[in-house]
Amino acid sequence: MALMTPEEFEKSLGRMRPKVFMNGKRVESVLSNPNTRTVVESNKASYAWALDPRYSDIMTCHSPLIDETVNRYTHVSGSIEDLVKKAEAGTFTGERLGTCIYRCVGDDSFHALAATTWEMDRDLGTEYHPRFIEYLKMVQRNDLSVAGALTEPRGSRQKRALDWPDPFLSLKLVDKTKDGIIVRGAKINISGAFASHELVVLPQSAHPEDEKDYALAFAVPADAQGITYVCQYSPYSAERELADDVYELGNPVFGQRETSMVIFDNVLVPWERVFHCGESRYALSFVSRFARTHRMTCGGTCKVGFMNQIIGACKLIQEYKGLDKAAHINDQITEMVVLRETGRACGLAAARLGGEDPPGSGVFLPDELMGNVSKLNVCNAFWRTMALAGDIGGGLVVTMPSLKELKNPETKDYVEEFFSFGSDQPTENILKVHKLLQHWTAGQHGVATWHGAGPVMAQKIMIQRVANFDHEKQLVKDTLNLKDKEVKKIEIK
Ligand SMILES: Cc1cc2nc3c(=O)[nH]c(=O)nc-3n(C[C@H](O)[C@H](O)[C@H](O)COP(=O)(O)OP(=O)(O)OC[C@H]3O[C@@H](n4cnc5c(N)ncnc54)[C@H](O)[C@@H]3O)c2cc1C
């Protein structure tokens, strides 16, 4: 079995030396910094679940590449069943972490790489596919955590990359040497990269022939020479730094969704790790294959899990407050269930309607239309779910005092008495459930859900590209028995 234990995972990260900065200071160890630690814990959990017989069916699968059991987050789907299991794994992981599944972006990138390197080799006679497969085998054998990086700073959106004053606002080829390629630029908003073993990099967008130096895909160790991480920092980061005990926080162990800017300052990528370099016509294939896979994951799987946490907290608060019979609250919770199930249905449909792409490649991808619909649907469904949860939770979701008051002899008794709702539950539990809802409704999740896997306009553009209305128009023509107009040729005498 090619599976690491959680302890081995932590040890392996401890051997790495990524250059990480947060809040203006160097992070000496991602294992001990309280904010980067949340990513370590999240990834660690994925190793523990894979080894747990209760969850191994979801979290592991057989890899035909190395003929061993591997973590599902290192596997490229080779069937519809694989895609369905991948969707189930997304919900399972999302609902237990209550934050980003950091390993999913890398795995979704593997799907795009497997399909598009195969296609390039077929069309162009390149040798990227076997190179990528060797890399993937190495990832599987060593059970590595891999982050995925596409999003770039970019210059003015009205101008082409060649017209930007700084050509490195998208990641760019600097040089080709006998050892590999040298790249410079940055990727932004990258989930969990500093606590991963590897980074896989794909282009962010299509590139015409004259922008071929931006058409790049490759993999590097997360602590490769020349890579620097500048982490996000928010009031939630500060709150975690100040916590005496993580159980004062809304998501105690796994935290907020942690991202960073990843700077590539003349990074050398050895040739055996380069999977696309200059074949600009294929840049869009990487992006769109990644997008349909990741939009199924982000739209129709992890958010379903997140909604389970929100619904659970609302039900508990309903009970604490004696609101079980309040018809409008039951109605709101029913609406949440419908939003959640619609999300789940989109994810499962994207998986079930998926197929081999390109035909003959052995790579199975979610259905492009439903993948994009999954993400577009959840953007609004998640805001709505948060709004409903805010109503049920009441003002306390944002006005609650610190859980530290329960340890302060001067305030403890007051807090325990006046936030008890007269219920038979410990006030500490009541406050903790409100704190969890604060994490969901008043934190980063609204914007994060909107933009993660691309803003809504990106899904709409894809849907407009894929949706072909010939079938619908023909239906109407058949229903009405419409005939095409006979074009009479007018003869001019
Ligand atoms: C929590 C979180 C985690 C993420 N994790 C990852 C990750 O692991 N890997 C990764 O690669 N990315 C990741 N992302 C990045 C995510 O994919 C981007 O945030 C998203 O694609 C939007 O890009 P942007 O943030 O640069 O916003 P922008 O692109 O600046 O979008 C802002 C607005 O401008 C509009 N806009 C942008 N460009 C144009 C244009 N040319 N014409 C017209 N309108 C335009 C958009 O539609 C939107 O309305 C993550 C994002 C978040 C929030």
| pLDDT tens-digit series, residues 280-304 | 999 999 999 999 999 999 999 999 9
User: Is residue 277 within 8 Å of 173, Cβ to Cβ?
Assistant: yes
Q: Domain locations in the chain?
A: 11-281, 286-468
Q: If 0-12 CB within 10 Å is exposed, 13-18 middle and 19+ buried, where does residue 168 land? A: buried
pLDDT confidence bin for 490, thresholds 50/70/90: confident
Confidence check: pLDDT of 174 > 80: yes
Confidence check: pLDDT of 489 > 90: no
CA-based nearest residue to 276, from 159, 78, 123, 146: 123
User: In a mutational test of the pocket of ligand 1, which residue from 105, 110, 157, 189 has the highest number of ligand atoms less than 8 Å from its CB?
Assistant: 189
User: Is residue 158 within 8 Å of 152, Cβ to Cβ?
Assistant: no
Q: What is the pLDDT of residues 441-488, one digit of tens each?
A: 999 999 999 999 999 999 999 999 999 899 999 999 999 999 988 888
Report the distance separating Cα 377 and Cα 370, nearest Å: 10
Residues near ligand 1 with C-beta < 6 Å? 105, 148-151, 157, 189-191, 257, 259, 448, 451-455, 457
Confidence check: pLDDT of 335 > 90: yes
The whole-number pLDDT of residue 487 equals 86
Measured by CA distance, the residue closest to atom 1 of ligand 1 is 448
Share of the chain above pLDDT 90, in %: 97
CA-based nearest residue to 270, from 91, 141, 135: 135
The whole-number pLDDT of residue 488 equals 83
Report the distance separating Cα 259 and Cα 148, nearest Å: 11
Measured by CA distance, the residue closest to atom 42 of ligand 1 is 157
Q: What is the largest CA-CA distance in the chain?
A: 107
Measured by CA distance, the residue closest to atom 7 of ligand 1 is 190
For 268, phi then psi, to 5°, come to -90, 125
pLDDT confidence bin for 491, thresholds 50/70/90: confident
Residue type present at position 444: Q
Per CATH, is 11-281 categorized as 2.40.110.10? yes
Strands (E), 195-320: 198-201, 216-221, 227-231, 259-270, 274-277
The whole-number pLDDT of residue 468 equals 87
* Residues in CB range of 302: below 8 A, 6 or more apart: 90, 91, 93, 94, 100, 101, 104
Taking the alpha carbons at both ends of the chain, their separation in whole angstroms is 85
pLDDT confidence bin for 143, thresholds 50/70/90: very high
Can you say whether residue 359 is alpha, beta or left, with left for phi > 0 and alpha for psi between -120 and 50 degrees? beta
pLDDT confidence bin for 166, thresholds 50/70/90: very high
Atom of ligand 1 nearest to the CA of 102: 8
CA distances (Å), origin 198, targets 16, 41, 263, 325: 11, 17, 14, 51
User: In a mutational test of the pocket of ligand 1, which residue from 39, 113, 151, 229 has the highest number of ligand atoms less than 8 Å from its CB?
Assistant: 151
Q: Do domains 11-281 and 286-468 have the same CATH topology?
A: no
Confidence check: pLDDT of 189 > 80: yes
Report the distance separating Cα 394 and Cα 492, nearest Å: 80
* Residues in CB range of 182: below 8 A, 6 or more apart: 173, 174, 175, 176, 266, 267, 268, 269
* Average pLDDT of span 53-69: 97
User: Is residue 134 within 8 Å of 272, Cβ to Cβ?
Assistant: yes
Q: What is the pLDDT of residues 98-136, one digit of tens each?
A: 999 999 999 999 999 999 999 999 999 999 999 999 999
Residue type present at position 160: R
The whole-number pLDDT of residue 397 equals 97
Measured by CA distance, the residue closest to atom 37 of ligand 1 is 157
- Which residue shows structure tokens 């939630």? 236
**Ligand 1 centre distance from Cα of residue 447 (Å):** 10
Q: What is the pLDDT of residues 388-397, one digit of tens each?
A: 999 999 999 9
Atom of ligand 1 nearest to the CA of 447: 53
Q: What is the pLDDT of residues 362-414, one digit of tens each?
A: 999 999 999 999 999 999 999 999 999 999 999 999 999 999 999 999 999 99
**Ligand 1 centre distance from Cα of residue 439 (Å):** 22
Q: How many CA atoms lie within 13 A of 56 on its CB side?
A: 9
The whole-number pLDDT of residue 73 equals 97
Atom of ligand 1 nearest to the CA of 457: 47
**Ligand 1 centre distance from Cα of residue 298 (Å):** 14
Please name the CATH architecture into which domain 286-468 falls.
Up-down Bundle (1.20)
User: Is residue 305 within 8 Å of 92, Cβ to Cβ?
Assistant: yes
The whole-number pLDDT of residue 69 equals 97
**Ligand 1 centre distance from Cα of residue 219 (Å):** 22
Q: What is the pLDDT of residues 1-30, one digit of tens each?
A: 789 999 999 999 999 999 999 999 999 999
